[in-house]
């Protein structure tokens, strides 16, 4: 410490002497302060007299002193800020305010194991606009990437707060278009889960293989680099952020009223009998105590439906409804209309607070961030809480030795609804018939406060079950620590070692109280607990050499080594028959429930790598990288080499360009080409399940218990000769800056070939295995990405920035191992081929074709038979799928007989689209007027198809008691014959809906109004003690502009009735002292 002050003094002394010398040379001294636009000093800003080696850096308080001559041009540059050039007009004080660099083309981007200015970069790296993280409360940061980064497909699968969305970069490297990117938080592999968005300083996405090759085996699916906030040299700050949000339910589809429900469904049972000749449903569904059966009673049956009698007539006076029974029109059915679909929702708010302290001096910096997030889910009983603490500190021990450390601890709890899984809880509970009974009735007809359990725990009254079954507790403790030592060995040569450890402990508990299910009291009182422990260690060493030769040859070289190991351990146990509801833990149970379980596994990787970046005069850019990885997942051949190369040309730095006319409009133009190779072994696991690490070695696995012993049997054959899967990406890019860089465009076109794709090879069934992991052929992803930013308005008081991203990705199969099928096809289904009159295979992997596994193959719903005459036109038609193969009825669907053989069978299906979008993207708009800002973020996806199973189940009544959307009212009846909606036939024996009907697939095209933020920044100096104050109002997930009938159209494919994302309104305040 003392030594350093001494050094500082010496430097000052030298400067003073210089000043004296210069005073004699008829020159002057320029002094001043350099600050950012927020008024904070910018220490370390470089101040240079243009065209000379005369220069200095600002000190700790942003002050500088420099001897200058009249007419000198001073160049002020600071990383991340726009460079300013100012003419020295006199020797007075020259205070300079540097604007943060909004120009995308000059931004600094974090790259693999380093950082680079974009103008020296020839690879494809996208940086997230931090505006996205500022206002909206995000319980999972992954959602911030939605629509903001071209080429990154983010899908929110559920509205469960805290849950991580599916993120796929450039179509993934798996045949089915999946593959999760590597997420590095300050260089440590991690995940978006429980990451506090307020801790994040920047987020970068490495997309092409030349940029990810340096991460070798882990980077094949792209890399997301997250840097957390660090203290800055300068004044100490205390800042506080608080947000309060209300989560509202989305306008759900309208359901039919209780009366219509009874009418259509009872008629549906009659229609069933007409079709099948069977009356087997009459007992339970017409006369039983079911949703539209007449077996209900006046007090405590799960459903209220019953015939009107003299004894229950009084209920009509209490508001019960009535409807004529279509089965026996001489009778009237009464019921209590009960809006039960709302019972699955709870009032949901989110509270999010964040407190940060940061600061630093020339010896060191610190940053401490503390956060609390408490978010309720929309579904009853669901929620997410998170307490986070993060400390980052650095200290210069010696002039050439610096130590940096990050410690982050997150204490979080993600609780799903006790009532069911994310994917079906809404189908079963929200879709209940309005004839359900929520509270029992007293014998006198008045409502009691005793909750009726409903049918059973899987399909019952949410209010009854919510505090009885699956009473959960969840706690995840995640501690991440890292230490980095930077050592400047000699000038230009730096050495650093980073060591990190992450420990994750996930504790879960579950308890069932005594509850009624199906009319019996279940007193098993099962208590269950589990623990998952993950320990991850990584050590990275890097030797870095930076040198500029002859002022124009800029070298940046790096050599590194890395070791990574992850160890996973799980434990679980359960007991049952506890005597009391009061003790939810296992100690009260009288005997074991199931067999206690523990399991441990691990995997490791060793790597060496090197990078060489070279540019000539910031005109010609070259980047080279090579990595060697060894993975424990592979058998005999553990090592692989993965090179990457990129070249770029800053055309605008050429004289001929700057002399040309074009340069008046085009300020910067950089064509770039990159090529790189990534390895991947994750596909060797089942998905990316990190618990599954010995697949290559074959397995004899647990087959269950027989006669009190655990049996084992061969479940996987060894694949010891499996090779690394290698993906090569060829990327063509163009960076453009137009009109004084007010419009910037980043465009990329890429072709990614995945060689030796490790994938399941489909096998004949006699082998006993459905598939085996092999190096299975070549996959190709092709796509384009566009990112556009424009400063539409730039003036003193008003600024308006708009941004757009657009991308499209397609997956192809180039080569497959030879098998005995045409095109070496694997899997698939056979349909009629109108082109040849024969048949063809779709929904398969076939050489030379687009990956078909997301093909939507459907029977084509042509029209609905209006009457008997229409049916008779197809009198001799045979329907292989319908229950009644030879007879159709008015109200049934007329299917298109595509091959004209008058038989409707599997061949009469067609590919009507894909479950994946054709293209996706987003728009952002950021308008500022004086101290007010309006930020709007949208995203869209076009071309994916969704099958809304709630709609289908209601119309077809395949569950028995589910309510239907109002579309049912448009279904065929003898009175409503001209319609496209088939008649309601109980359980859909004719398969009018439930056969993969084209009419049940809907377009998922949507534009989501993801965020709107209105903000106000208090002008600086208004209140002296306050450095900054920002007040804002944000709406998130405000609306989907879509024709899709369900809640959220983001995810294509089958939708069982998932937990929808809420509409969230937030008020927030940031204050910095």
Partner 1 sequence: MKKYSILIALLAIFSFSACEDAIDLVPRSELTANGFWDSEDGAKAAHIGIYSNLRSQAGDFWSFGELRSDLWGGYTLETPSNLGFIESDFSANSAPYGGWAGFYIYIHRINDFIVNVPNIAFINEAEKAHLMGQAHAIRAFYYFHLAKTWGDVPVILEPMADFDPEGLSTPRVAVTEVLDIVKSDIEASLTYFGSDEDLYKGKNIYWSKAASQMLKAEVHLWTGKLYGGGAADYTTAKNTLEAIQGFILEDSFDGMFSDENNDEFIFAFDYKEDQASNIFNSFTGRGTEVHPLYDGAGNSMSTFVTNGASRYGPTEKLLLITDDILDTRRDATFTRMYSDDNAEAGYPTYDPATYQASLLNKFMGHVNGGGSRIMDNNVPMYRYADAILLQAEAMNNLGEDPSGMINLIRERAYGENYDVAVHGYVNASQTENTNAILEERMKEFVGEGKRWYDLRRAGDQFVFDNVEYISEGYKLLLPITSDMIGRNPLLEQTAGY
Question: What part of residues 538-597 is at the interface with partner 1 (CB under 8 A)?
Answer: 539, 541-543, 559-563, 565, 576-577, 590, 592-595
The gap from C-alpha 987 to its chain's centroid, in whole angstroms, comes to 36
189 binds partner 1 (CB under 8 A): no
Please select the residue that binds partner 1; options are 123, 394, 668, 693, rule is CB under 8 A. 693
Question: How far apart are alpha carbons 758 and 633 in whole angstroms?
Answer: 12
Stretch that binds partner 1, among 3-11, 252-260, 599-607, 1016-1024 (CB under 8 A): 599-607
Query: Closest separation between CB of residue 333 and partner 1, Å?
Result: 17
Q: Interface residues for partner 1 in 464-493 (CB under 8 A)?
A: 487, 489-490, 493
CB-nearer residue toward partner 1: 37 or 283:
283
Structure tokens that stand for 568 in this block: 């996973």
Please select the residue that binds partner 1; options are 39, 764, 834, 848, rule is CB under 8 A. 764
The SS3 assignment for 276 reads helix
307 binds partner 1 (CB under 8 A): no
The DSSP call for residue 589 is -
Query: Closest separation between CB of residue 164 and partner 1, Å?
Result: 26
Strands (E), 458-492: 459-460, 471-490
Q: Interface residues for partner 1 in 613-632 (CB under 8 A)?
A: 630-632
Please select the residue that binds partner 1; options are 92, 283, 313, 658, rule is CB under 8 A. 283
Query: Closest separation between CB of residue 908 and partner 1, Å?
Result: 10
CB-nearer residue toward partner 1: 64 or 986:
986
Question: How far apart are alpha carbons 991 and 31 in whole angstroms?
Answer: 84
Question: How far apart are alpha carbons 848 and 938 in whole angstroms?
Answer: 36
Strands (E), 21-174: 28-36, 46-49, 55-57, 63-68, 73-77, 84-87, 96-98, 108-111, 114-117, 125-127, 152-155, 166-169
Q: Interface residues for partner 1 in 638-677 (CB under 8 A)?
A: 638
Query: Closest separation between CB of residue 295 and partner 1, Å?
Result: 6
CA distances 812 to 172, 517, 944, Å, are: 12, 50, 18
Q: Residues in contact with partner 1, total (CB under 8 A)?
A: 114
Query: Closest separation between CB of residue 902 and partner 1, Å?
Result: 15
Helix (H) or strand (E) holding 742: none
The DSSP call for residue 1060 is P
Query: Is there a contact between 914 and 977 (Cβ–Cβ < 8 Å)?
Result: no
CB-nearer residue toward partner 1: 163 or 987:
987
Strands (E), 437-526: 439-441, 447-451, 454-456, 459-460, 471-490, 493-511, 515-517, 520-522
Question: How far apart are alpha carbons 850 and 818 in whole angstroms?
Answer: 18
φ, ψ at 87 (rounded to 5°)? -75, 135
Please select the residue that binds partner 1; options are 399, 880, 901, 970, rule is CB under 8 A. 880
By rule CB under 8 A, what string of x and - marks binding of each residue 885-904 to partner 1?
x-------------------
Q: How many residues does the chain have?
A: 1073
Structure tokens that stand for 114 in this block: 């380093």
CB-nearer residue toward partner 1: 490 or 550:
490
Q: Which residues contact 982 (CB under 8 A, 6 or more apart)?
A: 864, 891, 892, 893, 955, 971, 972, 990, 992, 993
Stretch that binds partner 1, among 342-350, 434-442, 768-776, 1048-1056 (CB under 8 A): 768-776
Please select the residue that binds partner 1; options are 8, 697, 863, 1041, rule is CB under 8 A. 697
Stretch that binds partner 1, among 257-265, 391-399, 404-412, 813-821 (CB under 8 A): 813-821
Q: Interface residues for partner 1 in 1010-1049 (CB under 8 A)?
A: none
Hey, what long-range contacts does 697-703 have (CB within 8 A, 24 or more apart)?
697/635
Please select the residue that binds partner 1; options are 30, 196, 290, 338, rule is CB under 8 A. 290
Query: Is there a contact between 671 and 651 (Cβ–Cβ < 8 Å)?
Result: yes
517 binds partner 1 (CB under 8 A): yes
CB-nearer residue toward partner 1: 604 or 1039:
604
CB-nearer residue toward partner 1: 526 or 725:
526
Please select the residue that binds partner 1; options are 34, 168, 379, 605, rule is CB under 8 A. 605
694 binds partner 1 (CB under 8 A): yes
698 binds partner 1 (CB under 8 A): yes
Number of other residues whose CB lies within 10 A of the CB of residue 508: 17
Query: Closest separation between CB of residue 457 and partner 1, Å?
Result: 11
By rule CB under 8 A, what string of x and - marks binding of each residue 197-216 to partner 1?
--------------------
Please select the residue that binds partner 1; options are 762, 920, 924, 985, rule is CB under 8 A. 762
Q: Which residue has the tokens 């005109």?
A: 619
CB-nearer residue toward partner 1: 131 or 693:
693
462 binds partner 1 (CB under 8 A): no
Query: Is there a contact between 841 and 830 (Cβ–Cβ < 8 Å)?
Result: yes
Stretch that binds partner 1, among 306-314, 695-703, 788-796, 1012-1020 (CB under 8 A): 695-703
Stretch that binds partner 1, among 360-368, 816-824, 966-974, 999-1007 (CB under 8 A): 816-824
Query: Closest separation between CB of residue 318 and partner 1, Å?
Result: 24
The DSSP call for residue 430 is I
960 binds partner 1 (CB under 8 A): yes
The SS3 assignment for 439 reads strand
820 binds partner 1 (CB under 8 A): yes
The partner residues of 545 in beta bridges, in order of sequence, read: 493, 557
CA atoms within 13 A on the CB side of 557: 8
Query: Closest separation between CB of residue 964 and partner 1, Å?
Result: 17
Query: Closest separation between CB of residue 271 and partner 1, Å?
Result: 15
Query: Is there a contact between 611 and 627 (Cβ–Cβ < 8 Å)?
Result: no
520 binds partner 1 (CB under 8 A): yes
Query: Closest separation between CB of residue 146 and partner 1, Å?
Result: 37
CB-nearer residue toward partner 1: 493 or 793:
493
| H-assigned helices in 894-1027 | 949-956
The DSSP call for residue 267 is H
Question: How far apart are alpha carbons 255 and 955 in whole angstroms?
Answer: 11
Please select the residue that binds partner 1; options are 71, 277, 443, 708, rule is CB under 8 A. 708
- The DSSP bridge pattern shows strands 223-228 and 182-185 to be parallel
Query: Closest separation between CB of residue 629 and partner 1, Å?
Result: 10
* Residue in 240, 234, 173 with CA at minimum distance from that of residue 208: 173
The SS3 assignment for 695 reads helix
Q: Interface residues for partner 1 in 730-749 (CB under 8 A)?
A: none
By rule CB under 8 A, what string of x and - marks binding of each residue 397-436 to partner 1?
----------------------------------------
Q: What single string gives the DSSP state of each residue in 565-594?
A: EEEEEEEEEEEE--S-SS--SGGG-SEE-S
823 binds partner 1 (CB under 8 A): no
The SS3 assignment for 1073 reads coil
- The DSSP bridge pattern shows strands 903-904 and 878-879 to be parallel
Q: Interface residues for partner 1 in 370-389 (CB under 8 A)?
A: none
* Torsion from C-alpha of 519, 521, 527, 528, nearest 10 degrees: -20
Please select the residue that binds partner 1; options are 280, 548, 585, 902, rule is CB under 8 A. 280
Query: Closest separation between CB of residue 190 and partner 1, Å?
Result: 21
770 binds partner 1 (CB under 8 A): yes
83 binds partner 1 (CB under 8 A): no
Query: Closest separation between CB of residue 639 and partner 1, Å?
Result: 9
338 binds partner 1 (CB under 8 A): no
* Residue in 594, 758, 558, 744 with CA at minimum distance from that of residue 668: 744
327 binds partner 1 (CB under 8 A): no
Q: What single string gives the DSSP state of each residue in 91-134?
A: SS---EEEPB---GGG-EEEETTEEEEGGG--S-EEE--THHHH
């Amino acid at each position: 410490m003392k030594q350093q002050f001494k050094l500082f003094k010496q430097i000052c002394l030298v400067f003073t002497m210089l000043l004296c010398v210069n005073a004699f040379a008829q020159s002057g001294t320029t002094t001043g302060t350099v600050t950012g636009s927020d008024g904070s000093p910018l220490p370390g800003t470089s101040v240079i007299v243009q065209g000379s080696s005369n220069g200095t850096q600002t000190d700790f308080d942003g002050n500088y002193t420099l001897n200058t001559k009249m007419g000198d041009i001073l160049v002020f540059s600071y990383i991340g800020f726009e460079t300013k050039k100012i003419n020295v007009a006199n020797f007075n004080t020259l205070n300079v305010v540097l604007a943060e660099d909004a120009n995308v083309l000059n931004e600094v981007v974090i790259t693999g194991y380093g950082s680079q200015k974009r103008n020296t970069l020839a690879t494809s790296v996208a940086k997230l606009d931090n505006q996205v993280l500022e206002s909206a409360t995000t319980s999972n940061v992954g959602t911030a990437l939605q629509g903001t980064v071209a080429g990154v497909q983010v899908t929110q699968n559920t509205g469960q707060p805290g849950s991580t969305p599916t993120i796929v970069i450039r179509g993934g490297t798996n045949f089915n278009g999946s593959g999760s990117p590597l997420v590095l938080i300050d260089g440590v592999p991690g995940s978006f889960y429980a990451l506090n968005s307020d801790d994040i300083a920047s987020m970068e996405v490495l997309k092409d293989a030349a940029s990810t090759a340096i991460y070798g085996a882990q980077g094949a699916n792209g890399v997301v680099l997250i840097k957390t906030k660090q203290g800055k040299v300068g004044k100490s700050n205390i800042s506080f952020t608080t947000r309060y949000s209300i989560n509202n339910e989305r306008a759900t589809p309208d359901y039919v009223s209780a009366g219509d429900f009874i009418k259509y469904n009872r008629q549906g049972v009659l229609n069933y009998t007409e079709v099948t000749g069977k009356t087997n449903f009459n007992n339970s569904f017409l006369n039983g105590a079911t949703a539209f059966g007449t077996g209900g009673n006046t007090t405590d049956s799960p459903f209220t439906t019953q015939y009107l009698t003299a004894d229950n007539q009084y209920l009509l006076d209490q508001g019960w409804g009535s409807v004529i029974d279509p089965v026996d029109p001489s009778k009237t059915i009464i019921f209590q209309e009960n809006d039960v679909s709302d019972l699955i929702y709870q009032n949901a708010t989110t509270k999010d607070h964040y407190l940060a302290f940061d600061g630093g001096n020339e010896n060191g910096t610190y940053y401490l961030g503390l956060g609390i997030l408490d978010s309720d889910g929309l579904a009853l009983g669901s929620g997410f809480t998170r307490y986070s603490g993060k400390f980052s500190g650095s200290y210069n021990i010696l002039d050439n030795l610096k130590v940096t450390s990050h410690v982050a601890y997150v204490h979080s709890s993600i609780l799903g609804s006790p009532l069911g899984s994310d994917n079906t809880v809404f189908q079963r509970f929200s879709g209940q018939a309005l004839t359900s009974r929520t509270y029992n009735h007293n014998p006198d007809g008045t409502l009691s406060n005793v909750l009726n359990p409903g049918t059973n725990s899987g399909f019952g009254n949410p209010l009854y079950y919510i505090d009885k079954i699956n009473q959960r507790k969840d706690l995840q403790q995640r501690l991440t620590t890292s230490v980095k030592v930077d050592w400047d060995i000699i000038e230009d040569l730096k050495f650093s070692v980073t060591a990190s450890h992450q420990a994750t402990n996930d504790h879960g508990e579950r308890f069932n109280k005594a509850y009624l299910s199906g009319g019996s009291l279940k007193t098993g009182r099962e208590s269950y607990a589990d623990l998952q422990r993950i320990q991850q260690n990584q050590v990275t060493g890097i030797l870095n050499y930076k040198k500029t030769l002859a002022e124009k040859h800029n070298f940046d070289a790096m050599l590194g080594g890395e070791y990574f190991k992850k160890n996973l351990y799980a434990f679980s146990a359960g007991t049952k028959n506890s005597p009391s509801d009061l003790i939810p833990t296992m100690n009260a149970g009288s005997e074991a429930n199931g067999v206690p379980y523990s399991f441990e596994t691990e995997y490791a990787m060793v790597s060496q790598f090197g990078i060489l970046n070279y540019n000539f005069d910031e005109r010609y850019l070259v980047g080279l990288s090579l990595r060697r990885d060894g993975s424990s997942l592979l058998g005999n051949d553990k090592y692989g080499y993965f090179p990457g190369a990129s070249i770029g040309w800053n055309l605008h730095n050429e004289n001929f360009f700057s002399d040309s006319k074009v340069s008046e409009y085009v300020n910067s133009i950089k064509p770039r080409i990159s090529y790189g190779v990534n390895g991947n072994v994750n596909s060797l696991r089942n998905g990316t399940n990190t618990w599954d690490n010995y697949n290559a070695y074959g397995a004899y696995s647990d087959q269950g218990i027989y006669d009190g012993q655990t049996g084992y049997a061969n479940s996987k054959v060894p694949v010891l000769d499996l090779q690394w899967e290698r993906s090569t990406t060829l990327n063509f890019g163009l960076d453009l800056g137009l009109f004084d860089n007010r419009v910037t465009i980043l465009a990329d076109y890429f072709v990614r070939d995945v060689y030796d794709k490790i994938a399941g090879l489909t096998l004949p069934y006699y082998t006993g295995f459905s598939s085996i992991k092999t190096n299975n052929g070549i996959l190709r992803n092709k796509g384009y990405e566009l990112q556009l930013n424009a400063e539409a308005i730039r003036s003193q008081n008003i600024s308006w920035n708009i941004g757009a991203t657009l991308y499209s990705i397609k997956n192809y199969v180039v080569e497959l191992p030879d098998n005995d099928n045409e095109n070496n096809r694997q899997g698939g289904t056979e349909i009629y081929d109108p082109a040849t009159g024969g048949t063809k295979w779709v929904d398969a992997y076939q050489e030379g074709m687009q990956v078909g596994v997301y093909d939507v193959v459907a029977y084509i719903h042509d029209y609905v038979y209006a009457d008997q005459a229409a049916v008779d036109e197809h009198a001799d038609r045979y329907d292989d799928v319908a229950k009644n193969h030879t007879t159709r009825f008015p109200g049934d669907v007329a299917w298109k007989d595509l091959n004209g053989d008058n038989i409707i069978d599997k061949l009469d299906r067609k590919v009507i689209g894909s479950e994946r979008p054709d293209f996706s993207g987003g728009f952002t708009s950021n308008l500022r007027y004086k101290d007010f800002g309006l930020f709007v973020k949208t995203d869209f996806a076009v071309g994916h198809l969704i099958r809304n199973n709630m709609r289908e189940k209601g119309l077809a009544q395949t569950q028995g008691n589910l309510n239907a959307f109002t579309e049912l009212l448009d279904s065929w009846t003898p009175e409503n014959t001209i319609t496209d909606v088939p008649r309601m036939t109980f359980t859909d024996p004719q398969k009018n809906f439930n056969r993969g009907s084209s009419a049940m697939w809907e377009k998922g095209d949507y534009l989501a109004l993801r965020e709107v933020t209105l903000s106000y920044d208090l002008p600086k100096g208004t209140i002296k003690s306050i450095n900054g104050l920002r007040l804002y109002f944000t709406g998130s997930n405000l609306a989907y502009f879509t024709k899709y009938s369900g809640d959220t159209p983001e995810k294509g494919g089958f939708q069982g009735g998932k937990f929808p994302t809420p509409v969230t309104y937030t008020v927030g305040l940031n204050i910095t002292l």
